[in-house]
Amino acid sequence: MWRQRAIFLLIGLGVGIAAGWLFFFSEPPTTPLESQGALEELEEQLQNARASFERLQPPTSAEENSLRRPETLPYSAHLEIADSLGVEPVTGEDDISRYLRSGDLVPLVENEFYTVTVLEHSAPFVTPAMKALLDEIGRRFQAGLGEHRLPAYRFTISSATRTAALQADLRAGNRNAAPGTSSHEYGMSVDVVNFRYAYAQAETDLIDVRDDELSERINTQLAETYRAYGGLYWDHLFGLMTRVLGGLQREDQALVLLEAEQPVFHITVTQ
């Protein structure tokens, strides 16, 4: 009998030592308390974002009208500036290749400030001045979001440089497209969609959770909700963009036309 007790005692001692070793030298498992804390932080961050979006005002009628006809300059002013400061009207791929080699046009690719949609009736190239203006719009737009404690969103470019043939093709299906020569043919104008904004995830948005699986689930939910907020609160983002572009127009850095029949800002760089 004493031998059996000794054996059981040794087994118990061994199990205790092993358990102690695991306790001191391994990562503790994710506890329900940690999961609950992460979920509470997620909900708090989303509540704060909702409140911040609601404080970000949509555009007023006066702000919109300042970028619409007749208060803003007519389309002919965009054409005059493009003709005086841009490249010669682009007639085809040969012109684009030549202007790219000379540096008069540069590729338009998405970055931290904007996305570029599939351009069916234009080519993704602009003058360096237009590229610099787009980056400045993005900086001001994201700075305005930061002032409201909102995450970064990117605006969407839907049209850039057009040849005369592309302009004619567009006009066949879009009565809002300008007849004859367009300021888009000079690489000096782009169209920015006024209702489409893409969430740009940043490291500062992430919720810190030790458990990798829990971290992925929490931050995936956060990103998906922020992406949804971009559509839900598009009018508030539209308001901020209206104010940014209105400021640039008052500073004579851009001409802006908020088109009536298409949901875009037509923007021409002026310097």
> 169 with 163: CB under 8 angstroms?
no
Determine the angle formed by the axes of helices 212-232 and 32-55, rounding to 10 degrees. Answer: 20
Nearest to 203 by CA among 153, 151, 138: 151
**130: number of Cβ within 10 Å:** 27
- The pTM (predicted TM-score) of the whole model is 0.83
Alpha-carbon distance of 256 to 66, in angstroms, equals: 9
Q: Where are the alpha helices (DSSP H) in the chain?
A: 2-25, 32-55, 61-65, 75-85, 93-102, 128-147, 164-173, 212-232, 234-250
- Among the residue ranges 119-128, 154-163, 212-221, the one predicted with the least confidence is 119-128
Alpha-carbon distance of 253 to 265, in angstroms, equals: 15
pLDDT at 182: 86
For residues 111 and 31, the model is more confident at 111
The H or E element containing residue 256 is strand 254-258
pLDDT at 1 over 50: no
Token couple for 228: 């949804």
For residues 35 and 157, the model is more confident at 157
Cα–Cα distances in angstroms (integers) from residue 133 to residues 14, 64, 200, 229, 259, in the given order: 71, 20, 20, 27, 19
pLDDT > 90: percent of the chain: 73
Q: Residue 261: which pLDDT band, with cuts at 50, 70 and 90?
A: confident
Architecture of domain 32-269: 2-Layer Sandwich (3.30)
